[in-house]
A and B are shown apart, each in its own frame.
Chain A
Amino acid sequence: MPPRTPLRVRARQMASRWAPAAPLMLLVSYCLIAPIIVLVLQAFWVNGAPSLELWGRVLGQASNQDAIVTSLGLGIASATVTLVIGSPAAWLISRMFASQRAFWMGLLNVAANFGGIGLAFSYLATLGVVGMVTLMIQALGIHFDPPRSSSVAALLMAYEYTNIPLFVLLTIPAMSILREDWWEAAQVASATRLQFWRRIGLPVLAPFLAAGWLLIFTWTIGIYGIAYGLAGQSGGTAARLITLQIGTTLQSDVITGTGQAAVLSVVLLAIAVVSLLSYRRLLRRAMRWL
């Protein structure tokens, strides 16, 4: 029987295996992992016992139901618009000459990073009541009322500003999977361009595009800054979103509001977990042939 390793030695081995990563792991546990646990506990725990009481109360409120429906709808709409515009754009950019591609990558990068309050204001300056485009159209003598800045339509237009670039940046690497000689081999086999896309191009890319759609959907539901900025000028008439509901309860009354915020946070958490797992599955599926 080998002699037992003394505790002290084992502790030192342990330290040498983990020590350099320990500070990061502490930070992550403190700022990311523990908060999730706290939220889940708060949502399912009332007066020291597990309970669904909060859920019934929060989900029973019309405003919260409204927020959940609007958020999901906005997520689906935004991700779909992004997919339709972003997929061809990503494909074409991936096949551009280096200099042209660099230009578009630069532009997309800037746009993708330009979110939050700054984007909300830019939207107001473009399509708000006194926005540039609004004024331009009116100067042409056309009667034009821009969509209310906090309406779903306005949110959609503002969100696309970062969603399309994000989607393109996300899917461009996948585009390189389609190889030039597949297209050549398809031509030699007498396939038309349409047949190539239908039988080879799209089947190969589809899981990647679906994964992109899913991420955009998830991120869109989680957007807060842009929505907060755009909701700013319309007070009570703003579109209700899950994130805004959370923010409002936090801003207004921390004591009574935490229950609602916790429940809505757990709703977002559930969406995030489901979409992350589906995302992994999709990518595994995408890689199946490669």
Chain B
Amino acid sequence: MTAVSLRGVTKQYGTVHALDNISLDIASGELLALLGPSGCGKTTLLRSVAGLVHPDSGAIEIGGRDVSGVATRERPIGMVFQSYALFPNMTVRENIAFPLSVRRRPEAEIRRRVDDLLDLVRLVPQADRYPNEISGGQAQRCALGRALAPAPDVLLLDEPLSALDALVRGRLRDEIRRVQQLVKTTALYVTHDQSEAMAIADRVAVMNHGRIEQLAVPAELYEEPSTSFAATFVGSRNAVELAVVDGRIALAEAFSVPAPVGAAERAIAFFRPEDVTVAAGPGAKGQPATVELKVYLGATTKMHLAIPVEGGTARLYADLPSRDAASIDQGAEVRIVVDPAHIRAFPVPD
């Protein structure tokens, strides 16, 4: 069942298309992440659903009801802000109770509901503290509790983790996911962090220039990016631009794959560092390369490789298990091979 439905939503600021004819369906109970660089329109999209931004055209339905002319305060939504936006003059408990008390629910019901929510977001010990007396992670959990208080049809999260430090971020991300699955709410989650999006979302919509480039489950997005932007933005990839020769593209002896459809002269090949095989020693096969820099990262070691090609040097990364990399020194001459099955190639627009 569709919980939120967007049809041809468009928003322009001056000459900038913040949202360019966006259509999107979010299934009930689904967590959909909007992923993209800053300025891609993901926040504008979220704020349009909230009614804080008014699209120039298009329709937004929540729970089957067109909300285009509906004020924010009358939409069945909950929202978690990047900066928490907790009311400073209210305690954690009062913040969570706020949406219920402005709706004039009976005191007893409010108390019961808030107690449940405090428990849900694990803030019972902090219930009577003020926002400036709790940590960032606690503040964001409080914001989550407040957003969920009126049992909204859709929960909107605007980069909820970006103001937190790395350690708290991972934990809180899993926390949000746990709570969302527990209360089975539909959620729209904006982030610019691809690993966060992959970790938390049922589906990810990659946005760029106000358009959705790809909408897919995380694994598909990772393995099979459908556009060159999605390939660059998701996962760290090597990108090599190559000339099309006889319908194929090749990086010397490292790989050779058929050119993508539509590529007349040049194409760009993407492959992940872990798919680059590096071998040293006399028996090794493949393209000769030089190890310019070796970076030890614990379980893996990242190698910066330089490959002489006509007209210059191509540079790419390879990730090796550190045990295998131990025998290869910085400066060594090695040979590399890339498995063609893991290469995604896209035409270079002229």
Whether the complex brings A and B within 8 Å at their CB atoms is answered yes
Q: Which residues of A contact B (CB under 8 A)?
A: 179, 181-182, 184-192, 195, 199-200, 203-204, 288-290
Residues of B within 8 A of A288 (CB): 130
A289 with B89: in contact, given A184-B52, A191-B98 (CB under 8 Å)? Answer: yes
Q: Which B83-115 residues sit within 8 Å CB-CB of chain A?
A: 83, 85-90, 98-99, 102-103
Contact call A189/B85, Cβ cutoff below 8 A: no
A184 with B85: in contact, given A189-B150, A289-B132, A290-B132 (CB under 8 Å)? Answer: yes
Residues of B within 8 A of A179 (CB): 83, 85
Q: Which residue of chain A lies nearest to B99 when distances are taken between CB atoms in the complex?
A: A189
Contact call A181/B102, Cβ cutoff below 8 A: no
Residues of B within 8 A of A187 (CB): 51-52, 71-73
Could you mark each residue 151-179 of chain B with 1 if its beta carbon is under 8 Å from any beta carbon of chain A, else 0?
00000100000000000000000000000
Question: Closest approach, in angstroms, between the C-beta of B133 and any C-beta of chain A?
Answer: 10
B50 located at the interface, meaning its Cβ lies under 8 Å from any Cβ of chain A in the complex: yes
| 3 A-B pairs with least C-beta separation | A189-B99, A289-B88, A181-B85
B87 partner, pick from A188, A190, A192, A200, beta carbons under 8 A: A200
Contact call B103/A190, Cβ cutoff below 8 A: yes
A and B contact pairs by CB, cutoff 8 A, 9 listed: A185-B85, A187-B51, A188-B75, A189-B99, A190-B73, A190-B99, A191-B73, A195-B102, A200-B90
The winner among A184, A288, A290 for most chain B CB atoms within 10 A is: A184
Residues of B within 8 A of A189 (CB): 73, 98-99, 102, 146, 149-150
In addition to A179-B83, A199-B90, 18 A-B residue pairs with Cβ atoms within 8 Å of each other are A181-B81, A184-B85, A185-B87, A186-B102, A187-B52, A187-B72, A188-B72, A188-B156, A189-B73, A189-B146, A189-B149, A191-B98, A192-B102, A199-B87, A199-B102, A288-B130, A289-B88, A289-B89
**Which secondary structure characterizes the binding site on chain A?**
helix
Contact call B77/A188, Cβ cutoff below 8 A: yes
Contact call B88/A204, Cβ cutoff below 8 A: yes
Residues of A within 8 A of B149 (CB): 189
A289 with B52: in contact, given A184-B85, A185-B85, A190-B73 (CB under 8 Å)? Answer: no
The winner among B73, B103, B130 for most chain A CB atoms within 10 A is: B73
Residues of A within 8 A of B79 (CB): 184-185, 188
Expressed in whole angstroms, the Cα–Cα distance for A187 and B74 within the complex equals: 8
Inter-chain contact count A-B, CB under 8 Å? 75
Q: Which residue of chain A lies nearest to B50 when distances are taken between CB atoms in the complex?
A: A188
B147 located at the interface, meaning its Cβ lies under 8 Å from any Cβ of chain A in the complex: yes
B78 located at the interface, meaning its Cβ lies under 8 Å from any Cβ of chain A in the complex: yes
Expressed in whole angstroms, the Cα–Cα distance for A187 and B77 within the complex equals: 10
Q: Which residues of B contact A (CB under 8 A)?
A: 50-52, 71-75, 77-79, 81, 83, 85-90, 98-99, 102-103, 130-132, 146-147, 149-150, 156
Residues of B within 8 A of A203 (CB): 89
Expressed in whole angstroms, the Cα–Cα distance for A187 and B50 within the complex equals: 9
Residues of A within 8 A of B103 (CB): 190
Contact call B77/A289, Cβ cutoff below 8 A: no
Residues of B within 8 A of A184 (CB): 50, 52, 72, 79, 81, 85
Expressed in whole angstroms, the Cα–Cα distance for A184 and B130 within the complex equals: 20
A190 partner, pick from B81, B131, B150, beta carbons under 8 A: B150
Q: Which residue of chain B lies nearest to A205 when distances are taken between CB atoms in the complex?
A: B89
Question: Closest approach, in angstroms, between the C-beta of A196 and any C-beta of chain B?
Answer: 9
Expressed in whole angstroms, the Cα–Cα distance for A191 and B85 within the complex equals: 14
Contact call A289/B150, Cβ cutoff below 8 A: no
Residues of B within 8 A of A192 (CB): 73, 102
Residues of A within 8 A of B146 (CB): 185, 189
Expressed in whole angstroms, the Cα–Cα distance for A192 and B102 within the complex equals: 8
Expressed in whole angstroms, the Cα–Cα distance for A200 and B131 within the complex equals: 13
Residues of A within 8 A of B87 (CB): 182, 185-186, 199-200
Residues of A within 8 A of B131 (CB): 289
Expressed in whole angstroms, the Cα–Cα distance for A191 and B147 within the complex equals: 13
Expressed in whole angstroms, the Cα–Cα distance for A204 and B90 within the complex equals: 10
Expressed in whole angstroms, the Cα–Cα distance for A182 and B75 within the complex equals: 17
Contact call B85/A182, Cβ cutoff below 8 A: yes
Expressed in whole angstroms, the Cα–Cα distance for A189 and B83 within the complex equals: 16
The winner among A182, A185, A192, A290 for most chain B CB atoms within 10 A is: A185
Question: Closest approach, in angstroms, between the C-beta of A289 and any C-beta of chain B?
Answer: 4
Question: Closest approach, in angstroms, between the C-beta of B291 and any C-beta of chain A?
Answer: 49
Residues of A within 8 A of B156 (CB): 188
Contact call A200/B52, Cβ cutoff below 8 A: no
Residues of B within 8 A of A182 (CB): 85, 87
Residues of A within 8 A of B88 (CB): 204, 289-290
A190 with B102: in contact, given A184-B52, A289-B89 (CB under 8 Å)? Answer: yes
